[in-house]
Structure 1
Amino acid sequence: MASKHFVLVHGACHGAWCWYKLKPLLESAGHKVTAIDMAASGINPKKIEEVWTFDDYNAPLINFMKSIPTDQKVVLVGHSLGGQNLAFAADQFPEKIYVAIFLTALMPGFSHRPSYVIDQFIERTPTWLDTKLEPYGPPNENHISILFGPDFLTEKLYQLCSPEDRALALALMRPSSLFVVDLAKKNLSKEGYGIVPRVYIVCNEDKTITTDFQKWIIENMEGVKQVKVMDGIDHMPMLSGPSDLSIHLLDIAAEYG
């Protein structure tokens, strides 16, 4: 197929670094790849204490989308919390997106506020083990930061990843937020987000966003055009199954491009 431009969006506490195995696979197939650090993530200079709203957090992706010429399109890929980033980018720039791919992601819909799927996720997560949840920002605004602990990472996020990848994550993760309070004030439109084709990739060994909850998202967050399933893959498919993931992404890009 003709060369495509893949834009990769990480989840909470992570950064562009988490795509290091996938990026060269897509590039070796002849495609352009941009992995973006959200605010206070990866090597972005901001700290979470400076990022109070989801718009602040998502600004690097929105600014990147603004820079794309009007005659060009990209394939957006969002992992975990990155599903929210994709939704808002699609809402603002639907004409610049071939397809939005939600990779075991917290994908919002139209019938509820974008925070709804995160609220449901939190309600269905009985234990966060040693994850640090701490208040930050102005008093009385209820901002909560999150940083996955070593036990949660090993048992829930990276259980099928290599020891080297777990060590890398523990060295590079930074405090983030789920921005529930701010997302509860926002809406997504059918005229923007709603016209962008959406594909969901299920990872059936995910112990964080479980298979049952991924299926609930697909059934309740309307508008999914297609579902792909990755067998034997945990919450971090770009690390535990990069080759299989690249094949899925190339197939989807060929179909919707």
Structure 2
Amino acid sequence: MADILLVHGSCHGAWCWRDLIPALTAYGHTVRTIDLPGHGDGRSPADVSLDDSCRAVAAQITPDTIVVGHSWAGFPITGAVAHACPRGLIYLCAYVPISGMSLIDMRRAGPRQTIGSAAVKSEDGHSYTIHPDAAPELFYHDCPPDAVSFALDHICPQPIRPQATPLTVPDRWSSLPKHYIRCTQDRTIPPEYQASMTADWPDAQVHVLDSAHSPFFAAPGPLARLIDQITANIPDPSEPRR
């Protein structure tokens, strides 16, 4: 069994894992969540940095922890390994950072621009949110209506500064066990972009889920099953190697 830390994506929070948590605990895993800085903690978005986000994730990591990062959380879960060494990383339809590029750089480098005017910048320019009329098509088009209503009630502003800051991928990252879950119906991060970000990964570390950008709502059971299968293939540091 694993200690699993779930890290949310843009404009979301720990609330988005509502349906996945019980599905994972049913497999016997310990499941924890985190609200990244600037998400429900009262901090001004202008004061939140990428390093703050990376360190917030690192503070929750033990050598037994497998970190699951959704969407933009690919950045802070990658940066966190400069400060803590997890058991492994799982990228859930997430950005896989390239040293010297910010998330905004990577989004612009994608094969298609999917968000466009759906992102509404705050008057002070320090955060953005997704227009509620656009969010269902971008994030939740295959999700149950109750989950969509729940999500629309909880979507929150996303600090821009962390996403505009380039990340240097830590040296330790290359040797860590890591897996990617590509979502074939994703309308936020194009599935072909997800494939290109992991083109040089071993096939056994790249998995496919028939879901859009929010499988934690659309398919919590299949997602939990896949994460459980992945964790079984990530070495447990408490067990002696043979």
Q: Give the TM-score range, shorter chain.
A: 0.7 to 0.9
CA RMSD of aligned residues (A): 2.2
Per the alignment, residue 182 of structure 1 pairs with 165
CA contact (8 A) 2:128 2:157 kept: yes
Q: Percent identity?
A: 28
SS in structure 1 at match of 2:198 = helix
Deviations 1:96-142 (A, max 9, x none): x2220000001113xx3141x64132353155243212464xxxxxx
For residue 84 of structure 1, report the CA deviation from its aligned partner. Answer: 0.7
Unaligned regions of 5+ residues in structure 1, if any?
Answer: 137-142
Per the alignment, residue 210 of structure 1 pairs with 190
Q: Please give the alpha-carbon distance, in whole angstroms, between the structure 2 residues aligned to 1:40 and 1:122.
A: 24
Q: Please give the alpha-carbon distance, in whole angstroms, between the structure 1 residues aligned to 2:75 and 2:5.
A: 14
TM-score of the superposition, structure 2-length normalised? Answer: 0.87
- Pair 1:120–1:59, CA change in 2 (3 A): closer
Matched AA of 2:212: D
CA contact (8 A) 1:39 1:59 kept: no
Deviations 1:28-76 (A, max 9, x none): 22111101110111x433242432x1112334212223xx3xxx41111
Whether 2:105 is the aligned partner of 1:108: answer no
In the comparison of the two structures, how many residue pairs are matched? Answer: 232
Matched AA of 1:46: R
**Structure 1 runs of 4+ with >6 Å offset:** 222-225
Instruction: Decide which of 37, 53, 72 is 1:81's aligned counterpart.
Output: 72
Instruction: Decide which of 226, 231, 235 is 1:253's aligned counterpart.
Output: 231
SS in structure 1 at match of 2:143 = coil
Q: Please give the alpha-carbon distance, in whole angstroms, between the structure 1 residues aligned to 2:146 and 2:44.
A: 26
- Pair 1:126–1:156, CA change in 2 (3 A): closer
Per the alignment, residue 199 of structure 1 pairs with 179
CA contact (8 A) 1:145 1:177 kept: yes
Per the alignment, residue 119 of structure 2 pairs with 131
Deviations 1:215-245 (A, max 9, x none): 121127x6886100001x1100111010000
Per the alignment, residue 24 of structure 1 pairs with 22
- Pair 1:180–1:13, CA change in 2 (3 A): closer
- Pair 1:189–1:224, CA change in 2 (3 A): farther
Per the alignment, residue 140 of structure 1 pairs with none
